[in-house]
Structure 1
Amino acid sequence: MIIVTGATGQLGRLVIASLLKTTPPAQIVAAVRDVAKAADLAAQGVQVRHADYNDPASLDSAFAGATKVLLISSSEVGRRVPQHRAVVDAAARAKVGLFAYTSVLRADSSQLGLAGEHRETEALIRASGLAYSLLRNGWYVENYTAGLGGALAHGALAGAAGEGRIAAAARADYADAAAAVLSGAGPVEQVYELAGDTAFTLAELAAELSRQSGKQVPFHNLPQHEYREMLIGVGLPAPVADLIADSDAAAAKGALDDSGRALSKLIGRPTITLADAVKAAL
């Protein structure tokens, strides 16, 4: 029985869809906080169970009969460690055979501010005694392409990543990687450093957007604090603006670059190209 937590989130749904290509739906459990939101998964034959990271008892029920568990990291930055601890502890009580976790690229040495909670979670997993696989995901290309409409409207793409290269991949690429690890019959690695095949700078992203849209959209590189203030000015909450600006600043120092191609090797195909990502966004 394969348990996928956070199964109604953007990544979780893609993991379920990928698993369904090779795994009978009755062997997949969508562990979700709101069961009503998973009605479409239940209609496909996937088991749906209530699981709340803040309610350990619900996790024990959700993990009954589990052989493998995928913990998709909580979206509640700042509260992740106790939430993740509850999931790890429940998986240990259930004696699952494999515990997989969506971490962040080079979590052990990353300069990203958000890496701290991932490092602490990885330590909890290692201390649990469970067989584990750390899926250290790089950046989602959607983190940038989601804002291309705004860049077109304002006539510029802003950021604070400078000339830093970003080896981003699509959520679907990372979802296929998770499914490959969960559904594979053979041994899995303890740590996967996963990222896109070809890195790009934000200037290159702006150039590709300009090419495909027919409108000149330059990249404006800003100091981290100015970028943060700009994000707050367009309506983002301060904690989110802090996270985005910090991530760009870390990208400028190489935190989101990678050339190992472990992701494409794991999924058996190339990751999304920058041109295709922009095309899909437009």
Structure 2
Amino acid sequence: MTPTILITGASGQLGALVLTELLKTVPAGQIAALVRRPEAAQALPVEARLGDYTDPAALTAAMQGIEKLLLISSSEVGQRAAQHRNVIDAAKAAGVKLIAYTSLLHADRSPLGLAAEHVETEAYLAASGVPHVVLRNGWYAENNLGNAPAAIEHGTYIGAIGDGRISGAARADYAAAAAAVLTSDAQQAGKVYELAGDTSYSLPDLAAETARLSGKPVSYTDLPQAAYAEALVQVGLPQGFADLLADSDVGAAKGALENNSRDLSTLIGRPTTPWQQVLAGLLAA
């Protein structure tokens, strides 16, 4: 059986979950996984193909025979647009019939600095002529909720979001949506999905729920953007990444991460995982 679906970034957090979802309904022989390193291929339950977003020739070779491609956005902020162009060009050269791209919630009007490379990629997809569908993923709930152990230790979450709300969803929910699009019998080319959780939370909400679950006092400390970025640097984050996270908080304060479309729950055929449940799971791990 020859693979017809290729997942990029397949050894990453989202890619691995997409593979798990696909394998529920698709034979393993129809799926391939793009990985950068041979050692990453060893644990995969499907055929592995080696390729790097910076290597056009390897990408084109990896896409031979592929009909549907999931392009999971690169994690290398600042280099994403160029890397995504390489993948799109390779897919076009290989005759891929559908590209699904993981973009950012409301990318075309988002105030987040993170949006720029997604907008550029969406425009390049449109100009490429390759049929495509855009999955505008909202915030992964784990991004904030994963800070719970540190918040419990120090008694507070920090941020620059004020009372802004986040329609976060579990990473597994976004993975299920990607799998649903790749396996759908309905026409997907040309569609843009605004994907987010059914319910939203603020950082004060998160602090209160963390306190309830842990039985320890946890609050939320709101900081000016520059002070939050500096605090992130002090705990070891690179300045550029810290600045992007602080910028994201400020954007979220303006509603950039809140959404009521219900596109995500509609795609996966069930309500999104409640953020409280995600938090409880992380604390129990």
Q: Under a length normalisation based on structure 2, what TM-score does the superposition of the two structures give?
A: 0.96
Superposed CA RMSD: 0.8
* Aligned-partner SS, 1:100: strand
Which residue is equivalent to 1:26? 29
Q: What is the correspondence of 1:141-156 to structure 2 with a 5 Å cutoff?
A: 141-156=141-156
Match of 1:185 in 2: 185
Tell me how far apart the structure 1 counterparts of residues 83 and 21 of structure 2 sit (CA, whole Å): 26
Contact 2:207 2:219 survives alignment (8 Å): yes
Separation of aligned partners in 1, 2:156 and 2:181 = 40
Q: Secondary structure at the match of 2:43?
A: helix
Name the CA distance, whole Å, in 2 between partners of 1:230 and 1:86: 36
Map 1:1-282 onto structure 2 (within 5 A).
1-41=4-44, 44=45, 46-188=46-188, 190-282=191-283
Write the letter of the residue equivalent to 1:227.
Answer: Y
Q: For residues 105 and 264 of structure 2, what CA distance do their matches in structure 1 show?
A: 11
Runs of 4+ in 1 over 3 A off after TM superposition: none
| AA aligned opposite 1:214 | G
CA-to-partner distance for each residue in 1:77-96, whole Å, 9 max, x for gaps? 00011100000001111121
Structure 1, unaligned stretches of length 5 or more?
Answer: none
Structure 2 runs not aligned, ≥5 long: none
In structure 2, how many angstroms separate the alpha carbons of the residues matched to 1:51 and 1:35?
10
1:281 corresponds to which letter in structure 2? L
- Work out whether residues 59 and 90 of structure 2, in 8 Å CA contact, stay in contact via their aligned partners in 1: yes
SS at structure 1 position matched to 2:42: helix
Q: Match for 1:245: what amino acid?
A: A
In 1, Cα distance between the equivalents of 2:214 and 2:58? 48
SS of equivalent residue, structure 2 residue 210? helix
Cα displacement (A) at 1:38: 2.3
SS in 2 for 1:40: coil
Report how many aligned residue pairs link the two structures: 279
